[in-house]
Amino acid sequence: MTRTLLTSLTILLASALLVASFGCAAAQLPDTGPGSVTAEIADLFEGGSCDDIHSLTQREPFRQVSWMMTDADISEAEYRVPAGDSNRWTDWKPAEITFEEGTSYNARIILSEPTERIEVRGGENLHRAHFSFDSRVTGRVPAQRGSLCSSGDSHPWCVNSESPAGEAPKDLITRRRDWGAIDPERICRDAAMPTRVSFHHTFMPGDDGDDAARSIRQIQAFHINERGWCDVGYHFLIAKNGEIFRGRGGANRPGAHVRGQNRGNIGVGFIGDFTAEPPTTEQVESAVRLTRWIHTAFDIPLTRDAIRGHHEWPGQSTGCPGELMNGDVDRIAQIVEQAGLEVPVNIENRN
């Protein structure tokens, strides 16, 4: 999040405090436009929130609120919304927990009517949550873990997901079966030859809590259950310790990571919030190895034009992958440069 945006949020918060007429003071979020916006509640309530109730207001009405948490128990989180036009609230209702593994949780709230205001309480460390608001319901029935391919059937996903085209070497990546991926119910769009690469930070979660595979499962669950996508949006994910995970099967299957620019675009998601801290040394080193392999496997040039940060593509309204990845110090340029310096990886052993 940029300093300018923070400043405008502060101004908006100050004006929202003046006009709050009931309940706790509401924070006014910036105009969202269509689709989803992410709010960092910690930025909005620096002094702590009112009686542990987090009150949020948006100009654009929303139907869905979702968030991910690591190292926090939000199983008791509840919400309420204004009841009609009067200055009353609905009863508190439980948020829907769609992923729970250890102390990692995903939660969502799907509203029957659009609202501009919601209050949330009862979850541990909710003040650290990054909430995502959607003007329409994108969530769907939570996917069940299990492999479509275990039965050995001829489902197109089972046939195509293990296609040798674009399969990275086993010693470079952790395969889907080894991190416990959910197999999608359907194939993710038509194949296209990759010609470009995009780097992202996951932003939420901003850390993997030293259990990277769990975080990858959490992100995949969020993308399927909350975003409504067929699979995790990225083709590859890089954990804090440098471990590289296979995301969406087949790098030639379009991902879901850059609005309107997914065709032929390989998405690499770094676990982290690079507005707050830079990528780890291990992540950068792994990105060099992965970029070198992508260059070799798909003949994608090692240039800053072909390999970009998410926000550098046309039409994006995001700061991803964060100022500490792609700001005054352009770590993407460093990764691209280093990928061209070392001996290319041997792709003969790719599976």
Sites of contact with Zn ion (CB under 5 A) = 200, 310, 320
**Judging by DSSP bridges, how do beta strands 27-28 and 196-201 pair with one another?**
unpaired
The closest of 180, 191, 259 to 220, measured between CA atoms, is 180
3-state secondary structure (DSSP) of residue 220: helix
Closest distance between Zn ion and the C-beta of residue 200, in Å? 3
295/344 Cα distance (integer angstroms) = 9
Closest distance between Zn ion and the C-beta of residue 267, in Å? 8
95/80 Cα distance (integer angstroms) = 10
Distance from chain centroid for Cα 348:
33
The closest of 61, 42, 166, 76 to 116, measured between CA atoms, is 61
Closest distance between Zn ion and the C-beta of residue 150, in Å? 32
Say whether the peptide bond before residue 321 is cis (omega within 30 degrees of 0): yes
Which residues, at least 6 apart from 84, have a Cβ–Cβ distance to it below 8 Å? Answer: none
In the block, residue with structure tokens 């100009």: 59
H-state helical runs in the chain: 3-19, 41-44, 156-161, 176-179, 212-225, 281-298, 323-326, 331-339
Closest distance between Zn ion and the C-beta of residue 233, in Å? 9
**Judging by DSSP bridges, how do beta strands 307-309 and 196-201 pair with one another?**
parallel
Query: Residue 269 pairs with which residues in a beta bridge?
Result: 200, 237
